Copies of this chain bind each other. A is one copy, B any other.
Amino acid sequence: MTIRVGVLGARGKVGQAICAAVRDAADLELVAAVDKDDALEVFTESGTQVVVDFTHPDVVMGNLKFLVENGIHAVVGTTGFDAARLDEVRGWLAGSPSTGVLIAPNFAIGAVLLMRFAEQAARFFESVEVIELHHPNKADAPSGTAYRTAGLIAQARREAGVGVSPDATSTELDGARGAAVDDVRVHSVRLAGLVAHQEVLLGTQGETLTIRHDSIDRSSFAPGVLLGVREIANRPGLTVGLDPLLDL
C-alpha cells in the first residue's frame, strides 16, 4: 500500500523538487500540494498520512500544531527550531501519542553519514583535520556543517581520552594552519566551480582514512526526505536529526 503524502511550501524551489520526488516514488502518492494562501484542511480532507514541510520559521509552528492535532505525521526541513520550539512540539505530541514528527537541519544522507562516521572513527587516529570547500559566494567560514563535524569529533576524542592532534609547527604564516574549532583544525576553501563539499582526514602511523561528501545539487535532500516520509509513522514522538532513522 502506498503512503499518502502532502507537501507544504509546494510552490517553492525545494517544495517543487519534493513533489517531483514523491510523484516518482512507486510507494508514495502525492495527494496534497499546499502553499501559503491554501487552507491546511486540504490535508485532513484528502486523508494525507505524512506532510513534508519546507516553509518558513514564521509559519511552521502553526502548521505543525495543526498536523499533530489531526494525527498527521510530519517531516520538517524548515529552519529556526531552538530548544523552546522543540519543547512546544513535544507538548503537542504528548496529546497525540501515535503521531511522529521529524525535524532535521540536514536531509543530505551523505552529509549525515559523514558526520557519524567521522565521530565514530575520531578516537582511533592520532590526528584529524577537516577541509570544507564551497563556492566563492558563501558568507561564512567555516561552514555550519564543518563546525558541527569538528565539534562531534572533538567530543568523541575527549570522551575516549584521546589528546589533541600532534603539531610541531613553530613558524606559521598567519592562518596557514586553519581555524581551531574545539581544538580540531578546519580549513575553508572557496573556489568557483565548486558547490558544497567536505572532507575529514584521519591519520595514524602509516595510514590515513579520508571521508568526503560532495553535494553538487540542491536536490540532494530528496532521498533523505523520502526516507523520513517512509519511516516517520513507525517513530511516534519527536525525532531530531536524520541520524536515528539511519539505524547505524
Residues of chain A whose beta carbon lies under 8 Å from any beta carbon of chain B = 108-111, 113-114, 117, 120-121, 124-129, 131, 133, 136-142, 165-181, 185-195, 201-220, 222-223, 227, 246, 248
Per the bound structure, the CA–CA distance linking A71 and B15 in Å amounts to 51
Per the bound structure, the CA–CA distance linking A175 and B136 in Å amounts to 17
Is A207 a contact of B203 with CB atoms below 8 Å? no
Per the bound structure, the CA–CA distance linking A191 and B216 in Å amounts to 14
Is A167 a contact of B136 with CB atoms below 8 Å? yes
Please name 4 further chain A to chain B contacts, defined as beta carbons within 8 Å, in addition to the given A111-B207, A117-B211, A175-B178, sorted by A numbering: A109-B204, A141-B171, A193-B205, A204-B223
Give min CB distance, A45 to chain B, whole Å: 31
Is B207 a contact of A124 with CB atoms below 8 Å? no
Is B206 a contact of A220 with CB atoms below 8 Å? yes
Which of B110, B113, B127, B212 interacts with A191 by CB under 8 Å?
A: B127
Which residues on the B side are within 8 Å of A117 (C-beta)?
A: 113, 117, 120-121, 211
Which residues on the B side are within 8 Å of A170 (C-beta)?
A: 139-140
Per the bound structure, the CA–CA distance linking A50 and B204 in Å amounts to 23
Per the bound structure, the CA–CA distance linking A246 and B178 in Å amounts to 30
Is B201 a contact of A191 with CB atoms below 8 Å? yes
Number of copies: 4
Interface centre among A137, A190, A202, A207 (most CB of B within 10 A): A207
Per the bound structure, the CA–CA distance linking A156 and B162 in Å amounts to 32
Interface centre among A120, A129, A209, A211 (most CB of B within 10 A): A209
Is A180 a contact of B175 with CB atoms below 8 Å? yes
Which of B120, B124, B178 interacts with A176 by CB under 8 Å?
A: B178
Is B201 a contact of A206 with CB atoms below 8 Å? no
Which residues on the B side are within 8 Å of A188 (C-beta)?
A: 169, 172, 176-178
Is B124 a contact of A223 with CB atoms below 8 Å? yes
Is A186 a contact of B176 with CB atoms below 8 Å? yes
Give min CB distance, A220 to chain B, whole Å: 3
Is A209 a contact of B114 with CB atoms below 8 Å? yes
